[in-house]
Structure formats: C-alpha cells, structure tokens
Structure 1
Amino acid sequence: MSHSTMLRSLSQQLLRNNKNLLSAAGVRQASAVSGTNLKDVLEKLIPEKQKEVVEFRKRKGSAKAGEVTVDMMYGGMRGIKALVTETSVLDPDEGIRFRGYTIPDCQKLLPKGAKGEEPLPEGLFWLLVTGSIPTQEQVKAISKEWIERAALPNHVITMLNNFPSNLHPMSQFSAAITALNSESKFAKAYAEGVHKSKYWELVYEDSMDLIAKLPTVAAIIYRNLYRDGSTPCAIDNNKDWSWNFTSMLGYEEPSFTELMRLYLTIHSDHEGGNVSAHTCHLVGSALSDPYLSFAAGMNGLAGPLHGLANQEVLVWVTKLRESLGGEVSDEQLRDFIWNTLKSGQVVPGYGHAVLRKTDPRYTCQREFALKHLPNDPLFKLVSQVYKVTPDILIEQGKAKNPWPNVDAHSGVLLQYYKMTEMNYYTVLFGVSRALGCLASLIWDRAFGLPIERPKSYDTPHLRKLVGDS
C-alpha cells in the first residue's frame, strides 16, 4: 500500500471514529456539573471519584495489570504499566485522548475565543480537571480568575531582570517557577499542620495561581532576551489567557493568537509517563508544593529528547535547505534523508515511544498551516519531508513508528509568524504543559496517592531474579 493510500485510509478511519465519539461526547457534555466556579465543581466531584477508586481497589486491588521484562527495565521502563493518570491516555493507534476526547473532538466541542475557531486552553484545563466539556460561561470564569491571580511578586521580577543574557530561557523559566514557591498556599498550610483531606484544595489554589502567572514569567524572559528588555504590556481584562500571552510577547496578529490557542491546548498533556509529567508527579508525591514539583518537570522538559525536540527538527530542516537550495526534488530529498540515516543519525520529528501512527498533534498543526500559510516555503518543505520520509523509514526497517510527531511541525508555524528564536520554543511548551501536569497533581492529592518508590536492582541481583546465574 502506498504512503498516500495509507494516509487516505487513516483519515477516513479517523472521521468514522470521530463521528461515533462525538455522539458519546454529547452525552458526557450534558452530564457536566453546573456552576462557573471550578473549585466548587471539584468539591462535588472529588468525593464521588474517591469513592469510585476505593471500591475499585477493594474489588480488584490484587489483580495483575501486566508484566515486566528485563528489556523493559533496561530500556527506559517503556511499556511498564505503573502509573495512574486521570487526565489523558495515549493510544498507540488513535493518539492522545483528553478525558476520552480526541484532538478533533476538542477542536469541535471546546469553547472558542472571540471571533476564533481554535479551542481555548482554559476549556481544555476545565476538561482535564473535571472530565466534562465546559460551557462558554465556565471558560470565561476561568479566564477572569487567571487574570485576577496573574500578578508576580517583586522578587521574581527582580530575579528575572537580573539573569545574564547567556542563561538559557528554560533555565530562567524553571528558576522563576521555583522562586514563586514563596507564594505557595500548600507549603504554608502544610507547615501549620493542615489535615491531609485538605491537600487537594491547597494544590488547586497553587495550581490556579501558577498557571495564571506563567504567561507573564514567559513574556518577561522573551522580552529580556529578544526585545531589548522592554516591559510586557499590561494584562487586559477583556482578553483570554492565550490572547494576553501573545500581546505580552508583542505579537498582535490575530492568527498568531489563534495558533497559540491551538498550541497551548495540544501540548498540554500526553498521559503520565513522559518525562515532564512523570517528574512533576514524582516530586509531588513527596508533598513538594506545585511550584517545586512543576519546576522539576520543566527541568526534564528542557532536555533535547523531550521539549527541545522541535528545535532539533528546525536545525535539521535548516541544514537540509542550506544543503539542497530552494526547490528540492523528491529524489534529492530521498538522498538527503538516506544520507542522514546512513550517518547514524535519525530524522528528527519522526517516531514516538508510544505512537504508531501520525501524531494527531502534527495533523492539526498541518491543517492550521494549510489554512493560514499554504504557500510558505518552509511549510512546503516540511510537507515534502512528510511525503517522502515514512516510506524510507519503512524500507530501512528500524523505526517502529515511521510517522511524524508533534515536533515535526510546531517550529515551522512559529517561524512563519517571525518568532525565530528557537531557544525559546520550549518555554511555550512549558506554559502549555502546566495545564496537564497541574490538573493531574490536583487529582494525585485528591486520591491521597503515596510517595512513589519503585524497587530497583543491580545487574547481579536482576540476573539472579530471572535465573541467569
């Protein structure tokens, strides 16, 4: 079967799946808890879910959910079923589902911004926290609340303004989040002996505060490094979270704000086993407050095998364009890709530890590009890479997944809107990832999950364990 035929088949299957799911989604939306205050909604919802989990563990607590092999233990724990994450699940064939909803579902069902067509991240956060599609009024309430919580303490602003220009944006981002720990309601209440039944409420308060403050932190970093230290504009009470963020960055093009709404939505969560989400969960299990837990996750996101991957893609595409010039034939592109593989390198942006199909996050960004920048030369080149690469990787026979992931496309879109500072891209990813990490952290404390402490072995003991003496 040719690459194009496979793509058509996958697209048709996705459409069929989405039609079936949207019907079910409508039922879930109708059953959503009423009210515009998210904390009030959680106060009603959490006891129900706590009871559900307690009863499930009583019935099936000793049931086996899988097995662990030696290869899994040496191979980065891939495939080990060992975490509970309520907010999203990554299916190898279907891609990410946020509380059961696909990305196309979210694009269709979640409330939109003024004159916009892309989902608002505020709505996605409500969905991640509650499991229900919010109303427009509920999303407006979140936007308003984040505006009210957005102010930064002076010591964090001073610290950001005194960082040297050669300190990486992600280092600045992580350090500022750690310093915001001075504002932690959880840490203060824990020190005063608060009962553990109240932990989730305090984590909720810290999470809402932190998410509200992140765009301002990120905007100060951007302007200090790339806009001569100019001050971000004031937050506008009439704008949503993404719109205020793009304005503070200094971008007023409406379609860039639309891109940021989409970007912040689709990068928010990717189940619990990825480095940033797992790290946040792990550090949070020690009852570190949300600021310290999320900062730890951001240090993981800063790695080139995780959040820096979109930068790696752009570097490779730039080298490709410099090597081959303007118009590139498919044959020239095939030779370049084969040379990349023969040199021992990978094609950045292709493959995924879990996915075994084109990443739906890639697909929705491609659809955005087809709508807003169909003739952009860099987009055309990335499209050509998409056309050629999977067949080559299939022929090579080493890649378990020859299809593109989210990082293969996001940088191209940012470049088009003149955000050319590649070192900064992971900060955008980090602002988005807060939605998923912190929504999960609220539920970790609601369920009273204990400190995480898996058993480890050295190689001699592992050999003995499996009878290889």
Structure 2
Amino acid sequence: MALTDVNPYPDLHCMWPSEKVRPFSLYGCQQKCFSSSQSSNLKEVLDELVPQEQKRVSEFKKQYSDTVIGNVTVDMIYGGMRGIKGMVYETSVLDAQEGIRFRGKTIEDCQKELPKAKGGEQPLPEGLFWLLVTSKVPTQQQVDWVTKEWNNRAHIPQHVVTMLNNFPNQLHPMSQFSAAITVLNLESKFAKAYADNVHKSKYWEYIYEDAMDLIAKLPTVAAIIYRNLYRDGTAVGAIDSKKDWSWNFSSMLGYDNKQFIELLRLYLTIHSDHEGGNVSAHASHLVGSALSDPYLSFAAAMNGLAGPLHGLANQEVLIWITKLIEKIGENPTDDQVKQYILDTLKAGVVVPGFGHAVLRKTDPRYTCQRDFALKHLPNDNMFKIVSQLYKIVPPILLEGGKVKNPWPNVDAHSGVLLQHHGMKEMNYYTVLFGVSRALGVLAQMIWSRALGFPLERPKSMSTDGLMQLVKKQPTQQTQEKAKAA
C-alpha cells in the first residue's frame, strides 16, 4: 500500500493524521471511530465496540486484500523472522524511534491521562487494561469497576493451592507460575462453551470472561509462589475489596510500603505489552489461534517469557552489576566502570540491559523508571551505578561500530528498583513481569477472537528449497542495476 497524506478509507468518519507521510493505521483510527460509551461495565462497552470493529476490518480486508505491504529477504528468514510484517496485533505498536505506544498512547501519555489511586502518582493497571481493550482512556468510575470485578474474581481453587504448596523449592518460580496457570484452565468458560458447540460469533465473550478471571487470579498465584519460596510458606491473606489490583498484590507479597505499591503500579503498567512480535505475545497469539483457551495460551506465553533472551534479562542485568560491585566496589569511578565494561566486551560477553531488537533509542520504559528513581532513591548506590552505565556504555558500544542500538532497555533498570525496596530475590522478577504481560496479551486475545483471526500457519522452507527459490529470483542488486540501466 502506498504511503499517503489522504485518508484511504473516506467512508470511515475518523480524523486522518496531518503529517504528510503516514501509513493507514488500524489502531490509530480506532481511537476516533469507536463509540464513546460511558458505561462502567467493560463487557457492555465491548458489546458496542465489537460489531463496529468487525465491520470496519471486514471492509478494509475486502478493499485491500491484494495489497502488498512488504518484502521478505533471506536474511529475515534466517534472522528469526526479524522485521517481517506478518500478523495483526491491535493493543500496542512499537516504533523504533518513539518506543511503545499503547493504543496510540506513549508511556508519558498514560502517566498523565490514566486514572490513579487516591494520593498516587502512577497510573492504575486497571486503567491501562481498559485502554488496551477499548482504545479509550477510562474514567475513574470505569477503572473502579474493573478493580471491583477483579477483586470478585480472584478466588483460587484449592487443588491449585495444594499443587503450589507441594512444589519442591528447587523448582524455578516461572515453572511454578506456568504450571499453575495451565492447571487453572479447569476454570475456563471458553473451553466449556466450545465443548458445548457455542457459535463462533460468541467466542470473544467467553474469552473475555476467562481473561478477566485469569488476570484477577494471577496476583494470588504469584504471591503464593513468593511466600512459599522466600517467606517460609506464610499465608498471603485475603483480597481486600477496598484495595486496587496492585495494592492487593503488594500486600499479599508482604510489602505494605506506599512507595513500593506505587512502584508496582508503574511496573505492572509499563511491562504489560510490547506489540505482538515479542516471544511472549507471539506465543500466546499463536497458541490462541488454535482455539486453546486463555489459560493454556498464557501459560505458553510465560514459558517463552522465562527465557534468558526475554523476561530473564532483568535478572542477568543484576547479576552483572553485582559482579561489577564485587570487583570494583559500590562507589566506582567512571574510569573504573569504563574499564570493567571494556573487559566484559573483550571477554566476548554483551553488556546486559543495553540494546533492543527494534528500538533505536533509550527505551521509554527505562526512562520512566529512571525518573522514579531520581525522585525516590537518588542516593541508592546501585542506582548511581546504573546512572554511570547510562552515561558510559552507549559511547563505548558506538565506538565498536557493530551495535545498532547502544541505548538501555527496560531490563537495565527494573531490578535495581525492586532491590532497593527489599525484593532481592532475582529469580522471582520474571513472575512480576508475567503478571503484567497478561494485561496486553489477554486484551489482544479478546480481539483476536472477536475479529475471527484464523489458525496461524506460516510456510516454512528447507535451506535447499530456499536456495532453489532464490536462484529463480533476481537479487536486489540486479534489480537496481536494471533500473539504473
């Protein structure tokens, strides 16, 4: 599809961006096209939105079904499908220069516009979930409704509690988390409805119910794991109907410090979604396309998140910083830090927390965490080291000439904030990430079923087959020479 400054879909009464070059954007147009229901019941709002979006997408597909939107190179195929435009993911988009946008909203936008707890400064994750599902910034009443719903749905079946209590302490927290989510699928309303031959037009309604139930239960599951492993199996207590989702989670973990609760609200908001191509989001999207219920699909996402190249990265950062402190002390000079970085690179080891597969600037999720630290813990020794790394690492990586993005990502900061507030169990950090990621991938799953997305089944090729195909195709250099001639 050609880039244009003219609305290519004039029948839709939505504002078109004023920039001269801007591709047609499904998610960007949603903000203007969706109705503005003031109901505080999320299901009622979706009942209005789903038919509108089904019609809009159907008409778009009909008009542009044959439009070519990109090329695939051999390097992309061997490079993990990096950069291939191959799926629709509505809830967030990652821009290389701007960072993540949740339904068109930057993190800074979300911090300003989303409702907050009374006396709080950080957005409530309940509000972000409403935004991800509807593309609309919710009112305080709508956010309060979500909080109440999640508090009412948070019960954990006894057989799941028993299973968690019987896991060996050596079993990684993420393995326990994934297993518990899988077993929770006995509660799946979608699985029961599918077995009863519910019409596919109703799939999204049961996915919605499962998504709301699962998100509500995750903090309790995660807190039981934490208490069993690190607090001698003490009880997590009951859900307090007067507390929001993050506050209840913090209390069940055993942290009642207001600053930690605010940090958790920020953490659960910014880690919620990072468009559909990352491992956890793509895993849930892929497994969900087989009509596996949200519990099974989210468990798959968590198994992907548990990998060291994805959710475990924040743990890798802390391990590296801990080794740095052991070698050069808690208050190193810039020269000492620089030499340690150079020694790390000479040993063939990457500096964890720097670089990103898509981003080409400092991760906005890093920036908002840095702002939090500057305000609340400016004199923390580990934060000071993180600040030194922020200043010293990028120029060194740029001098090497091989790094496309030398800037810090979200993992470079999150662990240090948790350490400062007393949560020093690094193995557990990815579970917090997982609780947050549910907001994004489950919001998307509601829309995947509402829009009738099919089974995901890309075509694979062998190396021999790919070589034969390439021989039949003119290379880019050949095409350029032909044009020049």
Range of TM-score over shorter length:
over 0.9
Aligned to 1:66: 70
Contact 1:268 1:434 in 2 (8 A): yes
SS in structure 2 at match of 1:399: coil
TM-superposed deviation, 1:114: 1.8
Unpaired stretches in structure 2, ≥5 consecutive residues: 1-18, 20-27, 474-485
Aligned pair partner of 2:343 in 339, 354, 362: 339
Contact 2:34 2:49 in 1 (8 A): no
Q: Does 2:317 match 1:313? A: yes
Aligned pair partner of 1:185 in 168, 189, 194: 189
Aligned amino acid, residue 264 of structure 1: L
SS in structure 2 at match of 1:467: helix
TM-superposed deviation, 1:325: 1.2
Q: Which runs of structure 2 are paired with 1:295-314 in the superposition (5 Å)?
A: 295-314=299-318
Q: Does 2:225 match 1:235? A: no
Aligned amino acid, residue 188 of structure 1: K
Runs of 4+ in 1 over 3 A off after TM superposition: 27-32
CA change 1:378–1:124 in 2 (3 A) is: same
TM-superposed deviation, 1:468: 7.5
Q: TM-score, normalised by structure 1?
A: 0.93
Aligned amino acid, residue 225 of structure 2: I
Contact 1:88 1:98 in 2 (8 A): yes
Contact 2:330 2:382 in 1 (8 A): no
Aligned amino acid, residue 112 of structure 1: K
SS in structure 1 at match of 2:413: helix
Looking at structure 2, the residues matched to 33 and 371 of structure 1 have their Cα atoms a distance apart, in angstroms, of 37
Looking at structure 2, the residues matched to 339 and 41 of structure 1 have their Cα atoms a distance apart, in angstroms, of 56
CA change 1:29–1:107 in 2 (3 A) is: farther
Q: Which runs of structure 2 are paired with 1:324-363 in the superposition (5 Å)?
A: 324-363=328-367
Aligned to 1:115: 119
Aligned amino acid, residue 301 of structure 2: G
Aligned to 2:130: 126
TM-superposed deviation, 1:28: 5.9
Q: Does 2:209 match 1:219? A: no
Aligned to 1:57: 61
Q: Does 2:229 match 1:196? A: no
TM-superposed deviation, 1:29: 12
Aligned pair partner of 1:460 in 456, 461, 464: 464
Aligned amino acid, residue 133 of structure 1: V
Looking at structure 1, the residues matched to 32 and 354 of structure 2 have their Cα atoms a distance apart, in angstroms, of 34
Alpha-carbon deviations, 1:241-267, whole Å to 9, x = none?
Answer: 000000000000000000000000000
Tell me how many residue pairs correspond in the alignment: 446
TM-superposed deviation, 1:398: 1.2
Q: Does 2:425 match 1:416? A: no
SS in structure 2 at match of 1:89: strand
TM-superposed deviation, 1:32: 3.2
Looking at structure 1, the residues matched to 354 and 155 of structure 2 have their Cα atoms a distance apart, in angstroms, of 40
Looking at structure 2, the residues matched to 207 and 31 of structure 1 have their Cα atoms a distance apart, in angstroms, of 23
The Cα RMSD (Å) is 1.6
SS in structure 2 at match of 1:380: helix
Aligned to 2:452: 448
Aligned to 1:47: 51
Aligned to 1:375: 379
Alpha-carbon deviations, 1:136-194, whole Å to 9, x = none?
Answer: 00000000000000001111010001000000000000000000000000000101110
Alpha-carbon deviations, 1:382-435, whole Å to 9, x = none?
Answer: 000101000001001111100000000000000000100000000000000000
Contact 1:29 1:133 in 2 (8 A): no
Q: Percent identity?
A: 71
Aligned amino acid, residue 463 of structure 1: M
Aligned amino acid, residue 243 of structure 1: W
Aligned amino acid, residue 361 of structure 2: K
Looking at structure 2, the residues matched to 404 and 369 of structure 1 have their Cα atoms a distance apart, in angstroms, of 15
Q: Does 2:174 match 1:175? A: no
Looking at structure 2, the residues matched to 383 and 32 of structure 1 have their Cα atoms a distance apart, in angstroms, of 43
TM-superposed deviation, 1:329: 1.3
Aligned to 1:253: 257
Aligned to 1:37: 41
Aligned amino acid, residue 204 of structure 1: Y
Alpha-carbon deviations, 1:214-252, whole Å to 9, x = none?
Answer: 000000000000000000021110000000000000000
CA change 1:58–1:31 in 2 (3 A) is: closer
CA change 1:29–1:459 in 2 (3 A) is: closer
